[in-house]
Amino acid sequence: MEALAELERVQTRILERILKLELTHLPHNAEPISSSSPLTNGDASADVEARLSNILRSNAVNDFMFKRVASNYYEWPLESRRDALGAASVHHLCKSIVLVNTQAPPNVIDCSDWNNSKYYVVVVQYTARFNAETVKNFLYTLNNGKISKKKFNLRLAPEETSIKLTGYEHNAVTCIGMQTDIPVILDEALVKLNPDFFWLGGGEVDLKLGIRTSEFINFVKPFIVSCSGS
């Protein structure tokens, strides 16, 4: 039994290294995983959780957990969602939204330049109101004022665009293991949470990911911006 367990550990480490290499070389215009995969729903669900877990562990993220929720989870009030996940408060419940810069110059078509990207993913609390104007001002300053403010107009990306870029459907978007290396903006309010452990989408509508804020920041390396209000 010990030999078998050791063999499984070796196989897992090999798969993690292969996955990391694949993600490193993933093209920006990669298509999302086909819904016609021969995996059953149960197998596919387990595969998503295992894939994201491997990505996190291989990038020194150890304080995280996944939880399955009911199919009508998004019909519940935030207090019920908090209780289902065991979150510290409703303020620890977050969402990841894909934004598109609709006024980007014609030569800005992808995410190759994080300072001036066509797309961004913003992580913000459900209890907060996202303020796109603050992100616009942040990007203007980030580029040292060399790009006109008129060239920054962040709007919610169409759902089909979000799916293509991230590989995740609505209410399942997470910053981990996206199809495209999209720059992430983390609302500063999340950094101030106590305890510093928040919840966001886990790659499937009924799968949620809880993660230590400091480890998330070390891995994802997001821009930290005060971009919301109550």
Task: Tell me the per-residue pLDDT of 69-85, one tens digit each, with 9 for 90 and over.
Answer: 999 999 999 999 999 99
Which run of H or of E encompasses 225? Answer: strand 223-225
Cα separation, 146 vs 101, in Å, equals: 17
Q: How far, in Å, CA of 208 to CA of 93, rounded?
A: 10
- Does the pLDDT at position 210 exceed 60? yes
Q: In 7-153, which ranges are E strands?
A: 64-68, 94-101, 119-125, 129-130
| Number of neighbours of residue 40 by Cβ within 10 angstroms | 9
Distance CA 73, CA 41 (A): 18
Residues 186-191: what's their mean pLDDT?
A: 98
Tell me which amino acid residue 154 is. Answer: L
Evaluate if residue 2 carries a pLDDT over 60. no
pLDDT at position 11, please? 52
Q: Is residue 92 predicted with pLDDT exceeding 70?
A: yes
Residue 56: both structure tokens together: 């996190």
Domains and CATH numbers, the chain: 62-229 (3.90.960.10)
Amino acid at 167: G
pTM (predicted TM-score): 0.80
**Helix, strand, or coil here: 137?**
helix
